[in-house]
Amino acid sequence: MSSKNFFNKQSDLTASKILIYRKYLSDYLPKILMQYGRCYIADFFCGCGKNGQEDGSPLVLIDVAKKILESPILKSKHSNIEIVIVFSDENKNCCDDLMLQLKTISVPKQIKVLGPYQEGFSSIKEKDLDIFNNNNKTPKFFFLDPFAYSDVKIDDVKKLMNLPSAEVLLFLPTFHSYRFAEYEYKPEALKNFLKNFSEKGDSANYRDINDFNESIRQKLLKYICLKYVRSVGLDDGAKKNALFYLTKHITGMLLINDLVWKYSHDGRMVKAKRDNNLVLFNLPKISANYQKIKDYFIENIKEKKRLTNVEIIDFTTQIGFCTKYAREILKEMEENGSIYVTYKKINKKKGFYVSNDNWNNELATIIYIGDKNGK
């Protein structure tokens, strides 16, 4: 159950979460609508629409959608665009407050708002699963922001991800879970959460919060049988929670990777200051996490010996890296004489073609031949 005090002011962690949510939607929706002309978005823990004076996820979603619908390019491509949005929350006060907020803003006819429904997640989820199953090709995006870690189970996430063309952005309050994970006597709800979401279970030791988040990511990857799952740490200094992004398609993962590296100093934690302004770092390549991923990336090339640009893009994306960084590392390796490139087309013989746009366009093969010492 949501606490009224929670909505009186937007915390630094919530500001970071909303930023990632807004920026992802701003990139995701135009691509989806250009291709399909229609999409479903569900916010099953929508809250009251405001955190103090700041917009919460429902109003952010509508604001982003309205701006995108103004695009003349999109209008020329599709004459009957439709964005179907479902809002629900089990808290009656939240639903009533959100309804009042929605009445104060203009919503274009292309945006169809269903709710807010005063209904628990388990109930509304099952109803919507039936509806969404009948729309195989329409993209579906689910934002799950439960107030307590016990409100969503991994099987709930799996059911949503089993829908055709589905993506999930899941918030988990991992800080509390991590802090008490090593306690011998844990509350039953926490034990169940750890058994449910962590690959290491309820009796493991974790090096730090990043190790804890990675254990959850690995469980999501394996239990739901996915290639692409991304953890997004949220850090205000005192607390560290996380978003988990799940998708079946590489293009979504490319977007979220770029966002995390843009708004964090190490590609893992989006850090907010007390005044709610994000701390932006311009030197992510000096972080220990960057070096760790770089070493892993190079070892993969050495092991495989021969990789197409498409294979490199896919590997880069799965490990939460950016293609621009992969390209820079390949350039270093080429200058060191440890790789060379062969090309597939006569008119494309420059560079590595390791970029977001070339994820399904096989143009080059990168071949490892050893370093200067002949290794």
The answer to whether the CB of 357 falls within 8 A of the CB of 324 is no
* Whether residue 279 has pLDDT greater than 50: no
Question: Residue 294's CB: how many other CB atoms inside 10 A?
Answer: 17
Range with the poorest average pLDDT among 44-58, 104-118, 185-199, 271-285:
271-285
Measure the CA–CA gap between 162 and 116, rounded to whole angstroms. 25
pLDDT at 8: 60
Mean pLDDT of the chain: 89
Give the CA dihedral 152, 154, 160, 165, nearest 10 degrees: 130
Global pTM reads 0.92
The mean pLDDT of 259-265, rounded to a whole number, is 91
E strand or H helix that includes residue 51: strand 50-51
Give the CA dihedral 11, 13, 15, 16, nearest 10 degrees: 170
Look at the domain 4-283 and name its fold. Rossmann fold (3.40.50)
What secondary structure, in 3-state letters, does 111-174 show?
EEEEEEEECCHHHHHHHHHHHHHCCCCCCEEEEECCCCCCCCCHHHHHHHHCCCCEEEEEEECH
Handedness of CA 258, 263, 266, 269 (dihedral sign): negative
The structural domains of the chain, with segments of one domain joined by +, span 4-283, 285-368
Is the domain spanning 285-368 CATH 3.10.450? The answer is: no
The mean pLDDT of 244-262, rounded to a whole number, is 96
- pLDDT, one tens digit per residue, over 298-316 is 999 999 999 999 999 999 9
Is the link from the previous residue into 164 a cis peptide, with omega within 30 of 0? no
Domains 4-283 and 285-368 share a fold: no
pLDDT at 372: 61
Residue whose pair of structure tokens reads 């292309």 in the numeric block? 110
Rounded to 5°, angle at Cα 66 from 63 and 70: 140
Q: What percent of the chain has pLDDT over 90?
A: 67
* Whether residue 59 has pLDDT greater than 50: yes
pLDDT at 275: 40
Top-confidence residue, 132 or 349: 349
The answer to whether the CB of 64 falls within 8 A of the CB of 29 is yes
* Whether residue 252 has pLDDT greater than 60: yes
Which token pair is 82? Answer: 């439709």
Please name the amino acid found at residue 165.
S
Which token pair is 265? Answer: 């100093």
The mean pLDDT of 340-346, rounded to a whole number, is 94
